[in-house]
Amino acid sequence: MCIVAAALFLVKLQASQVAGESESPNVSLTVPSGVPVRLYLTKRIPKRLDAPVEGKIMETVFAFDREVLPAGSAVAGRVSAVQPVNKWQRFRSIVGGDFTPLRNALVEFDSVTLPDGKKLPLHTVQTIGLNSIYTEPSPKKKKTAPHNPNNGTLGTAKQTLDEKIQQAINGRSGGFADIVRGPNKKEKLVDFLWAKLPYHPQYMRRGTRIDAPLQDALQFGTEPVKVSDLAVLGSQPSSDSVARVRLLTALDSASAKQGQAVDAVIAAPLFSADHKLVLPEGTHLQGMVTMAKGAKSFHRAGRLRFNFQKVELPAEVANLKPSAPGPEPSTLTTQATLADAEGSGSAPIKVDSEGGVQAQESTTRFIAPVIPLLLASKAADDDAERHGAGSVSGPNANVAGRTLGGASGFGLVGMALSQSSSYVGMAFGYYGVAWSVYSNVIAKGGEVQFNKNAMMDIRFGGRTPVPANKFLGVVAASRR
């Protein structure tokens, strides 16, 4: 009898386990409003109202643990508004010889076409382009990325895209040397020459990056998920695992304060080494600023450091976490520091091994004033015999020198005005020297800036974090 009872018990236990495995709760696949769609323009767009806009999604958009808007999906929209630039930017363009009434084009998108050809409606907030250009890699140069177990099966494909993005994240339009070195040389050369004219057409370059926040939420229905796949949901991520997050708090090294709260959200699901979901998209992170120093004169760059100490699952998925004996904690205490990031300011940034961020200053900036100095010296050259003229002030005296001096100080306008007198060319030449010295040597350094929705990678640590009040006390003591 005992043997029969034991057999029946084992059969029932096995049946209950099978039933438990077959339970598949449904999760809602929703991308809430405010989430940015990160994309780049595939065609040059004139800054004209209602001009059509075409682009491609750079970074996959996730809902819970699923891809809903894959990278490479095509988006379409229009220029919805045109606004003048700020007064400081306008002033700088004028003193540089550019009298074009500069303006910004705000774009919004109304449709997205998935790689399988399915077209979906889209409604984004109107926004301007970012200060960086994305260069689509050639198919011949594509390489297979190594598998990253900390990011799960979806992490491998995502890592490939992230590496491409980071290579272009601070790829801002620079001088002639950047034109020679970088790709799309012809297009860059045309842009460079247009910018030297006192009046020129305005457009958004092909490859301009845009973060377009969703005006309306996107609904992708519901999908079942296995209970066994949620075994480690909401648990402590393994040491050195890296998560992709989206910053909810704008930060600037010029205004940030030590102890300031910092919020972020997981932008791509984090998986364990055995492909189990640890943190879904939408998981909330809480942290604080631990160090902030603003930029100072003579190009002393700004610095910033912050980390995250708390992780909170989205309310709608918290009940999916398998039950365990004892009370469930409302938040997970952890320690995560910055591993990589994209800056939103004009200066490129560098993240150190401890998660600190500093704006980068080019060492070649000390050489920049030499060129306008040489041009100014040519404009001031009074060797009349060598110039084939009888006097310095004559109409044919040092035409080349004063032309170069005028171009150095005030662009094409300076070139034209300098033809009236060599003294005018000299004045423009030395003005160019003064402005170059101020800009490259005396002016303030770059600030570390992160706009809201800036993307970054954070690395989870294996140690127990120090309580916030004790941590700040240690930092304060170390700075005395």
Mean pLDDT of 378-394: 52
* Rg of the chain taking only CA atoms, in angstroms: 29
Higher pLDDT, 285 or 436: 285
Residue 348 confidence (pLDDT)? 85
Which domains does the chain carry? 27-134+153-224 (2.40.128.260), 365-442 (no CATH)
Whether the Cβ atoms of residue 414 and residue 435 lie closer than 8 Å to each other: no
Predicted confidence band at 37 (pLDDT cuts at 50, 70, 90)? very high
Number of neighbours of residue 85 by Cβ within 10 angstroms? 14
Residue 93 confidence (pLDDT)? 77
| Residues 6 or more apart whose Cβ sits within 8 Å of residue 238 | 150, 272, 273, 460, 462
| Residues 6 or more apart whose Cβ sits within 8 Å of residue 92 | none
DSSP 220-284: EEEEE--GGGGTTTTSPPPTT-EEEEEE-S-EETTT--TT-EEEEEESS-EE-TTS-EEE-TT-E
Q: Which residue has the tokens 């339009």?
A: 173
3-state DSSP assignment of residue 200? coil
Q: Where are the alpha helices (DSSP H) in 257-398?
A: 315-318, 370-379, 384-387
Question: Is the pLDDT assigned to residue 330 strictly greater than 70?
Answer: no
Return mean pLDDT, the chain.
Answer: 76
Mean pLDDT of 163-183: 40
Amino acid in position 6 = A
Amino acid in position 286 = Q
Residue 409 confidence (pLDDT)? 57
pLDDT 10s digits, 369-379: 777 776 666 66
pLDDT 10s digits, 45-94: 999 999 999 999 999 999 999 999 999 999 999 999 999 988 888 877 77
Question: Is the pLDDT assigned to residue 17 strictly greater than 80?
Answer: no
Residue 203 confidence (pLDDT)? 87
Question: Is the pLDDT assigned to residue 458 strictly greater than 60?
Answer: yes
Residue 368 confidence (pLDDT)? 74
3-class SS string, 162-174: HHHHHHHCCCCCC
Q: Can you say how many angstroms the Cα of residue 77 is from the centroid of all Cα atoms in its chain? A: 22
Of 15-19, 58-62, 413-417, 436-440, the poorest mean pLDDT is in: 15-19
Predicted confidence band at 287 (pLDDT cuts at 50, 70, 90)? very high
- CA atoms of 314 and 310, how far apart (whole Å): 13
Cross-strand bridge partners of residue 197: none
Residue 466 confidence (pLDDT)? 45
